[in-house]
Amino acid sequence: MTAKNLLASVAHSSDDTEFYTPMPSGYRPGKTRYVGVFGTVMSGLGKGIFASSLAKVLKDKGLTVAPIKLEGYLNLDSGTLNPFRHGEVFVLDDGMECDMDLGTYERMLDQNMSRKNFSTSGQIFTAVLEKERRGGYLGRDVQMIPHVTGEVKRKLRELAVQSDADVVFIEIGGTVGDVENAYFIEALRQLAFEEGPQSACWVALTYVLEPPSLGEQKSKAAQLGIKQLTQAGIQPHIIACRAKHEVTQKAREKIAMYSSVPYKRVFSMHDCESVYVIPEMIRQEGLDQQVVGILGLEDRLHPEQEVKAKNEWDGYLTRLRAARDDVVIGVAGKYTSVRDSYASVIKALEHAGTQVGVGVNIEWLEATEISEDKVAETMRGVHGLIVPGGFGSRGIEGKIAAISHARKRGVPFLGLCLGFQLAVIEFARNVGGLEKAGSTEFDEDCENAVIDILPEQKEIEGLGGNMRLGGQDVVLSRDTLAARLFNNAAETRLRFRHRYEVDPRYIDSLEAAGLIFSGRAPDYPIMQILELPTDKHPYFVATQAHSELTSRPLRPDPLFLGLVQAAQTFKRASNQQGAAAIG
């Protein structure tokens, strides 16, 4: 049976066949190509960065691309994962809580992802077991092969149909040697067999060691990792080599020889000033043309579109490299030892700084070490402050102390999610006369719970659905700083991940004390953006949303953009005051 006949005729398993290839309605064999990115040696090397960069370069050529991240863990989503272990939880517009690599895809491709772009083993196994209970396997004994691998292939093909993609990019989390990834790899091997020649391009992302004591690059670990992949039935077409410095010709030649991959397809993905340089590196090496040839996509390209897209990206890189007049932004959080916990915040600051022409340096402020008597010293030299999202009571008082210092000293401030709630608490305590203001998240018996779970959310708390997730509309009040930041729009859309809100009973008294709630939910008494009048503070803004999630290189988030601009002004004023004092 040929691959073409297999796809055309087999959509179930029975006693007559061992093939199992569920075909979603509307799928056209041969239309969509597949690029798979596998990790070797160790995880965390940048599979998502490489996959998104290559996808961007192909998208620039006029191709429709759709990425998907396959994670081996049994969680149904990333919502319960500790940031110390897995980095930030990235929330999609449809409310899916997923891996931080989805943020990389959204930023690099400038397109929103959905739950179709993310899958875990938990989702795969749940789908298989639910189908088994419904009798969907015609009485067969359900096995890893062909049924679980068949579910993986179904997800990939469903994404192809939904997105009408020319190319689906598949990133497998972790490394080839991980036990939980074996069936993902097998599913992709089957997929390439079923789809036929020029249907798939496999990329092995590896690591080239540079032991300081030896003074040279060593490729043996990379060779052994790639060997594991070939033993699983995947012969890579491209090798992407991570390294601190550019991979030498000698190391690339060794890898090419022992992996049977042409030298021109062994790509050096060494450290550079920004991940946004990677697409440029791919173009310079001609790797994009190699992929187009491997997949036979020459007749689908649009050269004029590529020229325009390339010019826009080159303009961004020019501004990025030309950024001067550095500012220091303090980030007061409790996961500061793991930078991936705030990946989107870091990128949003980079986007804003590039737009303004300012280099943004981040000063990580461990919230648990901030106290009222030391906050001035801790924040010395900081030109702006961000208090990002988080859960739990650890470090709360330190964050409140930092916010209070920023408010009183005129330091530009941006609060995100929890940072919004703490700004309300700080204002209520120190301006609104509610000395015991707090949140029921930290103290269930709080006397003045200005932050609480709304009544309608409490009703569904037992069902586990009280988290407010995903994209929500925000109505902006006229003649406010928030409205100006969003180009005087009547409303905007931001992404949320929280369950606690400003208690509506305190809104009038807080506003009477001078706090402005400039962004609200359209249909509920939910406060979504706050600010202080600009005659009282140059930039004191907070949002219940995670506005960092929707920032893009060519379209910086307005709240971050405003913060960086205000920080630049604050720095100049501070320098002038210092010069005047010396004079």
| Long-range Cβ pairs for the range 182-186 (8 Å, 24+) | 182/232, 183/144, 183/145, 183/148, 183/149, 183/152, 184/70, 184/72, 184/152, 185/38, 185/229, 185/232, 185/233, 185/234, 186/145, 186/149, 186/232, 186/233
Of the listed 351, 405, 537, 546, which one is catalytic? 546
Q: Is residue 272 flagged as an active site residue?
A: no
- Beta strands 238-243 and 200-207 are parallel
Q: Which residues, other chains included, contact 276 with Cβ-Cβ below 8 Å and sequence gap of 6+? A: 108, 313, 316, 317, 320, 553
Q: Is residue 446 flagged as an active site residue?
A: no
State which H helix or E strand residue 56 sits in. Answer: helix 47-60
- Whether the CB-CB separation of 27 and 157 falls below 8 Å is answered with yes
SS3 content of the chain, % helix, strand, coil (to 5): 45, 20, 35
What is the CB-side half-sphere exposure of residue 312 using CA atoms within 13 A?
A: 15
Q: How many other C-beta atoms can be found within 10 angstroms of the C-beta atom of residue 159? A: 22
Q: Is residue 417 flagged as an active site residue?
A: yes
- Beta strands 167-172 and 33-39 are parallel
Cα–Cα distance for residue pair 211/217, rounded to 1 Å: 7
Alpha-carbon dihedral 82, 88, 93, 95, rounded to 10 degrees:
0
Of the listed 417, 426, 441, 498, which one is catalytic? 417
* Catalytic residue numbers, as ranges: 417, 546, 548
